[in-house]
Chain A
Amino acid sequence: MKWRLTWVFWATTALHVAAIAIFTRGFLLTRTELPFHSGCSDVAGSPCAPRPGAAGPNGTGGSERCWTKPAVDRVVIVVLDALRFDFVAPSALFKETKPWMDRLPVLQKLAFREGSSAKIFKAIADPPTTSLQRLKGLTTGGLPTFVDVGNSFGAPAITEDNLINQLVQNGKRVLMMGDDTWVQLFPHHFKRSYPFPSFNVKDLHTVDNGCIDNLLPSLYQEDWDVLIAHFLGVDHAGHIFGVDSLPMIEKLEQYNTVLENVISVLESQSGPGGLHENTFLLVLGDHGQTLNGDHGGGSAEEVETSIFAMSFKKPPSAIPSELDISCEYTLDERFCISSIQQLDFAVTVSALLGIPFPFGSIGRVNPELYALAGGTWNMEELKADKPEHDLKSAEWLHNYVNVLCINAWQVKRYIDIYSASSLIGFSSDDLVHVANLYAEAEATFAQKMDPLSYNSEHIKLSTLKRQINAYFRFLASVAELARSKWTEFNLTFMGIGLGMMLVSLLVHVLAIKMVNELHNGSFNPSGNSGISFGLIYAFFIVVIRACSLLSNSYILEEGKVANFLLATAGVAKIRYSIIKRKMIFEACLFLILICLLRFTIEIGLSKQAATSAFLHSSTSWMIGIDFNHPVLVYILQLLPMLALIGLAYLLYKSTADGSSQRICRIVVMGTIASYVLIVVHWASESNMLGLAQINAARNVIPRIIYAIGIGQMLLLAFSQLCNGSTVDNRSLFSKTVSMLSAWSPTVTILSGKQGPLITLASILGGYCIVMLQNIEEESDGTAKPSVVNPLSVTEWSLLALSMFFCTGHWCAFDGLRYGAAFIGFDEFVLIRQAILLTIETFGFSHIIPVFGLPFLVLRRKLFAQKELLVQLSLAYMMFGLIMAATVTVTILCVMIQRRHLMVWGLFAPKFVFDVAGLVLTDVLICLASLYYFCRPEDHRLEINTSRR
């Protein structure tokens, strides 16, 4: 019998886990961050170790040289956030001229001037096109995914090897100004920095003005080698006003002036011996934006941005014509603009500065960008003796081949180490293919570089070009492989996962139907249609909540939506209580409680990180309450302790009537002891009673509480094993109480001071739901025991959801309270801390509600003893079904919105939280079924005999 009721929990758990695993494989692209760094000496292990003479006939360099010969001394990087390609490119390139085009004329003038050493590129970014991911991509030369495994616990700082890290390692001084995201990403790298807050999207000017104020004076200073200035105005103007707007045009015109000034300063100092004699200017966007100002996805508008590069070295260099460079001509065929992958940025800048390439970079040194500055030193040398064009080109190409050799060796090294050390590496076929290409390129390189045949004059241009093409093929195939692995969704997997979720829903519904029939068939052969108002209403609420998840706005306001629906259900309950003229007090209490929860949710929202996307839901009502008032502080500290004492009293009362089992009493005593310990812990923490804070003892109390919790759990499990008493109301009640009381101290201490209050609210809410659950059914007057009310189960699950938001959580990773993981422990152990964090995050919203669900059934005194189990399993199935239905819609929505601009900021975290919650709920339901359902007995027979 037991299995007839509980198999469905195990079946759906298995289905859910499988479906989620498959879907996640297709959707959540993961990449492992490697902790390795490139060093100057590594290059000795490459086949292209620089040897005297290899770089050029004159053999300059040698000692000061690291990986490549430095081509520029200083770099000025101006990042214009969300710089669309058509902001920079001449309007002649496009079919239609739009108002926002040609607003940066200084760049166009310089780029298309005769004999200039400036150039405009179309830069192709890789999705996700969010600033943080793009900055990471620009500096590491990799393809950051949504989940970069190995992320430090919470902090966004980049731990992978990157351009900035290499600069610092090699003694370059980096100066940063503008967007404070850089400081978060590189907390200890900058010699000097002028960060400005970037979180306020409505603020167009703070960051930009801060940049402008610091940029020009800094250009006259000598104390930096690389200057980064990150302007945010265009991004913010796009987000608020859209691209086709006056503020956007004003911003672009402002930038034009700034760039004019910057260039004129640089030019004025670029004479021989000047400060900027060998300076390289890069003006680039991190990503584009759509006409509405959105970005994040992979549409052409979002990934197409621009790089403007200019070398101030005189005389200007020319790009060798031998390279087959494809470019896009403007309509009048006057200008030609070539493309560059943003992936190539880090490695090209590294090559220009002569520092080691970032370890995880998979880009290639872009020939055109490299030639702009990298071509220059050869020019001068060659002009003196051999002014022949061919030779000049050959020299350049030869040098470039050397750089590419190092480049290819570094990429190959990364791919090899990555596939050896990451959890999910590349497939072996792909690896073999890449390895073959590399071997091919290396073979010709070794041949060419054979010292005997080496003679610069004899190396044919065509050989060099073949060699370059071999390297290009290798690097391109690596980039393609990496993109398919890290940026493309696998729709097949996603479809299979979604299909399995739908199947699991079907299984759930069928199981509910089956159990329901079993139940009806046993004593209610006439059977009502089973479609009650409660069922329709519950169905309506679940559907409307599920549909609301399809929009990002409702996901942002999910807590409020849940509360709205819960309040609607509460109002419906009031209506019924008026019809019945009873329990009006409970109904009103429920509504008041919901009202309080709603305010708590708003307080929780206001605590969110300032940079969170969720912040804009403003907390309107918190008007000028000074939370630092001493009396208020005192009350706020005292209140949780009073609540805890009240809880302890409540627990004591619930078991004091002597009817409960001995085990239950023991467990409850343990819980009360834990509560006392918590009060002592908090009192000593806040120094309230003058108890001195003893540092060593700080961790003792939480650990004792965890130990008591584990002990209670073991006790309960043990008693379950050896005590197979029949289930009746009383024993189920004491079992539920003891289970909840075993969990509650741990959950409470992890939640902090709000814990006891939330616990009280949960008890009150649960009490109201239980009391009100049958209110609409007894209207017939006949006291027929009907099935557990679906509306009550829906309310139960909505209340659980509200609790999640009430406890100050939200579905984003910055919503996790990492501090809770370290209550009772100082050092970090992944599994232990992860368990604590899970209990803190899902405690009130999943663990307590699932184990408390029997209360819904207990209230119905009319149930026969055996009937209880059928009802209980029905309740659990409905709860699981509601949860699974919501998660299925989340999965569907993530699948539909996978190209949405908020997919990485909003939908993916929501997906992760929902999926984790679902699996946790499933597992908990299975555990609960083991715990609450007793030994198998022939149940049906007994019902039949007892009823007839």
Chain B
Amino acid sequence: MGETRKKTKPKASDDEASATGGLASPHAFSLHLACGLSLAAALWIAGAGGESVDLVSDPSRTLRLVWVIECPIAILLYSLARERPAQTSYIRAVVRGALALPAGAMVNALGAIALGAPVGTQYLAKTINWSLVMSTWIVVPAACVFGASWNSWQRIFAFTKPISSIDFMICLPAHGAIIGAWFGAWPMPLDWERPWQEWPICVSYGAMIGYLVGMVASLGFILLRHGHDHVKID
């Protein structure tokens, strides 16, 4: 389900991107922790608190809970780490993130359908909620941080060449989610007749695992770079 590569129109180049966005590792850690915790909280609320559903029994409600809870947190936090904070107001970054959510969901949904996601009225809600979740994980952080900077988008999603800490924090979880979702689709045709083989349950699980692995990996990279920088400074 890797389809978020084409995004927004090209704009003025801003090569100072690499200079900014140097996020300290404690900040990066707390940002990821907040996103991870909000995901866990959403799943917990779905299961234990009140609704008592999970991904298998009611994927569309659970996924809706996930993006409803995680998306604001992600928008608010990533907007803090926006590029060129001097030129871009916080509010503007938040609005960018909010606008990117449906746009990214659209791209995700189209990609999923091209790859074979079922189409039909009974799948409509599931597909919409799934793509909103994917958008929250993949597109929203980048939109908050980079805005409409075509070069940054291209660097992250086409070249996969993250430079700064924030690049890593956006790039790795997003790619993890995409690759995880791609692999998550493979058990679907098997004839095990398990409820979780339905669209989009196992794809969501795959994406979730990929996303979490990506977060951990990006933290690892940031720590590694940090240590490296220290060594260099010494």
Interface residues of A (CB under 8 A from B): 551-554, 556-557, 560-561, 563-564, 567-568, 570-571, 574-576, 578-579, 581, 584, 588, 591-592, 594-595, 598-599, 617, 620-623
- Cβ-defined partner of A578 (8 Å) among B114, B118, B154, B185: B154
C-alpha spacing A571/B182, complex, angstroms: 12
The listed residue (A551, A560, A563, A579) touching B159 by CB distance below 8 A is A579
**Is there contact, CB below 8 Å, between B6 and A567?**
no
Q: Which one, A551, A576, A599, A621, contacts B190 given CB within 8 A?
A: A551
B113 at the A interface (CB under 8 A): yes
A574 to B10, CA, bound (A): 16
How far is B183's CA from A564's CA once the two chains are assembled, in angstroms? 11
Q: Which of B39-47, B83-91, B119-127, B222-230 lies on the face that meets chain A?
A: B119-127
Annotate B1-43 by CB proximity to A: 1 below 8 A, 0 otherwise.
Answer: 0110110001000000000000000000000000000000000
- Tell me whether A561 and B119 are in contact (CB under 8 A): no
By a CB distance below 8 angstroms, the chain A residues around B185 are: 564
Please measure, in the bound complex, the distance between the C-alpha atom of A599 and the C-alpha atom of B185, giving whole angstroms: 18
Q: Does B99 contact A (CB under 8 A)?
A: no
Which residues on B sit within 8 Å (CB–CB) of A598? Answer: 113-114, 116
Contact B116 A560 (CB under 8 A): yes
* Chain A: minimal CB distance from B78 (Å): 22
Tell me the bound Cα distance from A523 to B154 in angstroms.
Answer: 35
Q: Is B189 an interface residue (CB 8 A)?
A: yes
Which of B2, B6, B111, B190 has the most chain A CB atoms inside 10 A of its CB?
B6
With A568-B182, A578-B6 as known contacts, state yes or no: A560 contacts B189, CB within 8 Å. yes
Given A570-B114, A620-B123, A621-B120: A557 in contact with B158 (beta carbons within 8 A): no
Let me know if B191 is at the binding interface, CB within 8 A. Answer: yes
A588 and B6 within 8 A (CB): yes
Q: Which of B10, B111, B115 has the most CB of A within 10 A?
A: B115
**Contact across chains for B116 and A564 when beta carbons are under 8 A apart:** yes
Cα–Cα distance between A563 and B116 once the two chains are bound (Å)? 8
Apart from A571-B2, A578-B157, what are 16 other A-B pairs with CB-CB below 8 Å?
Answer: A563-B116, A564-B116, A567-B116, A568-B2, A574-B3, A575-B5, A576-B158, A584-B6, A595-B110, A598-B116, A620-B118, A620-B122, A621-B118, A621-B120, A622-B120, A623-B121
A575 to B159, CA, bound (A): 8
Is B122 within 8 A of A575, CB to CB? no
What CA separation (Å) do A557 and B197 show in the bound complex?
A: 14
In whole Å, how far is B168's beta carbon from the nearest beta carbon of chain A?
Answer: 19
- Asked if residues B189 and A579 are in contact (CB atoms below 8 Å), the reply is no
Contact status A574-B6, CB under 8 Å: yes
Q: How far is the CA of A584 from the CA of B110 in the complex (A)?
A: 16
User: In the assembly, what is the distance between CA of A578 and CA of B9, in Å?
Assistant: 11
Contact partner of B5 (CB less than 8 A), chosen from A574, A581, A599, is A574
B residues near A575, Cβ cutoff 8 Å:
2, 5, 157-158
User: Which of A571, A581, A592, A617 has a CB less than 8 Å from the CB of B3?
Assistant: A571
Question: Quick check: A579 and B158 within 8 Å, CB to CB?
Answer: yes
Are A553 and B190 touching (Cβ within 8 A)? yes
Contact residues in B for A568 (Cβ distance below 8 Å): 2, 115, 182
Chain A contacts for B157, CB-based, 8 A: 575, 578
0/1 interface trace, chain B 82-118, chain A, CB 8 Å (1 if under) = 0000000000000000000000000000110111101
User: C-beta contact mask, B151-173 vs A, less than 8 Å → 1, else 0?
Assistant: 00010011100000000000000
Measured CA separation A461–B118 after assembly (Å):
74
- Bound-complex Cα distance A352 to B146 (A): 88
Residues of B within 8 A of A623 (CB): 120-121
Residues of B near A595 (CB, < 8 A) are: 110, 113-114
Cβ–Cβ contact A579 & B154, under 8 A: yes
Minimum C-beta distance from A241 to chain B (A): 11
Say yes or no: B189 contacts A571, CB within 8 Å: no
Number of contacting residues on B, CB 8 A? 26
- In Å, the complex CA distance between A592 and B114 comes to 7
Q: What residues of chain A lie closer than 8 Å to B111, measured between beta carbons?
A: 571
Task: Please give the distance in Å from A854's CB to the nearest CB on chain B.
Answer: 28
Contact check, B189 vs A556: say whether CB atoms are below 8 A apart: yes
A576–B115 CA distance with the chains assembled, in angstroms = 18
* B182 contacts across to A, CB distance below 8 A: 568
CA distance A570 to B3 in the complex (A): 10
Q: In the complex, are the beta carbons of A554 and B189 less than 8 A apart? A: yes
* CB < 8 Å neighbour of A561 from B2, B110, B189: B189
- State in angstroms the CA–CA spacing of A571 and B181 once bound together: 14
Instruction: Name the CB-closest residue of B to A596.
Output: B114
Q: Is the CB of B115 within 8 A of A567?
A: yes
The distance in angstroms between the C-alpha atoms of A578 and B182, with both chains bound, is 20
- Residues of chain B with a CB closer than 8 A to A579's CB: 154, 158-159
Question: How far apart sit A97 and B3, CA to CA, in the bound complex (Å)?
Answer: 56
Which B residues touch A553, using CB under 8 A?
A: 189-191
Q: Which residue of A lies closest to B199 (CB)?
A: A620
Give the distance in Å from the alpha carbon of A402 to the alpha carbon of B10 in the complex. Answer: 95
Specify which of A552, A581, A592, A620 is in contact with B119 (CB 8 Å cutoff).
A620
Q: How far is the CA of A352 from the CA of B173 in the complex (A)?
A: 76
Instruction: Let me know if B189 and A567 touch, CB within 8 A.
Output: no
Complexed CA–CA distance, A574 and B110 (Å)? 14
Give the nearest-CB partner of A624 in chain B. B121
8 A Cβ contacts from B166-208 to A: 182, 185, 189-191
Tell me, in angstroms, the Cα distance from A621 to B185 when the chains sit together: 19
Of B3, B113, B121, B189, most A-chain CB atoms within 10 Å: B189
A625 CB to closest chain B CB, in angstroms? Answer: 12
What separation, in Å, do the CA atoms of A622 and B121 have in the docked complex?
A: 10
Q: How far in angstroms is the closest Cβ of chain A from B89?
A: 29
Closest chain B CB from A549 CB (angstroms): 12
In the assembled complex, the Cα of A564 lies from the Cα of B159 at a distance in Å of 23
CA–CA, A578 and B4, complex, Å: 11
CB-based nearest B residue for A548: B186
Contact B189 A594 (CB under 8 A): no
Q: In the complex, which residue of chain A has the Cβ closest to the Cβ of B115? A: A567
15 pairs, CB–CB < 8 Å, chain A vs chain B: A567-B114, A574-B6, A575-B2, A576-B158, A579-B158, A584-B6, A595-B113, A595-B114, A598-B114, A598-B116, A599-B119, A620-B120, A620-B123, A621-B118, A623-B121
For residue B199, give the distance in angstroms from its CB to the closest CB of chain A.
9
Q: Residues of A contacting B113 with CB < 8 Å? A: 595, 598
Q: When A551-B190, A575-B158, A598-B114 are in contact, do A621 and B119 touch as well, CB less than 8 Å? A: yes
**B139 CB, nearest partner CB in chain A, Å:** 15
How many angstroms between the C-alpha atoms of A561 and B158 in the bound complex? 25
Within 8 Å CB of B190, what residues of A? 551, 553-554
Min CB gap B176→A, angstroms? 16
Q: How far is the CA of A599 from the CA of B154 in the complex (A)?
A: 31
Residue in chain A with minimal CB distance to B111:
A571
A551 to B192, CA, bound (A): 12
Q: Which residue of A has the minimal Cβ distance to B153?
A: A578
A564 touching B115 by the CB < 8 A rule? yes
Tell me, rounded to whole Å, the shortest Cβ–Cβ distance linking B127 to chain A: 11
- B203 to nearest A CB, angstroms? 12
A571/B5 contact (C-beta < 8 A), A552-B191, A561-B189 known? yes
Counting from the closest, the 7 A-B pairs by CB-CB distance are A621-B119, A557-B189, A620-B120, A621-B120, A595-B114, A578-B158, A579-B158
- A584 to B5 CA separation, bound complex (whole angstroms): 11
Closest to B112 in A: A567
| Docked complex Cα distance between A574 and B114 (Å) | 13
Set of chain B residues within 8 Å of A599, measured between Cβ atoms: 119
The CA-CA distance from A458 to B144 in the complex, in Å, is 108
Please, which residues of chain B bring their CB within 8 A of the CB of A563?
115-116
- Tell me, rounded to whole Å, the shortest Cβ–Cβ distance linking B193 to chain A: 9
A595 to chain B, nearest CB (A): 4
Q: How far is the CA of A578 from the CA of B185 in the complex (A)?
A: 25
Q: Whose C-beta in chain A lies nearest to the C-beta of B114?
A: A595
Report the nearest A residue to B190, measured CB to CB. A553
* Complex-state Cα separation, A584 to B150, whole angstroms: 15
In the complex, how many angstroms separate the beta carbon of A882 from the nearest chain B beta carbon? 20
Closest residue of B by beta carbon distance from A578: B158
Q: Could you tell me the distance in whole angstroms from the C-beta of A897 to the nearest C-beta in chain B?
A: 14
Least Cβ–Cβ distance between B115 and chain A, in angstroms? 5
- Bound CA span A617–B118, Å: 11
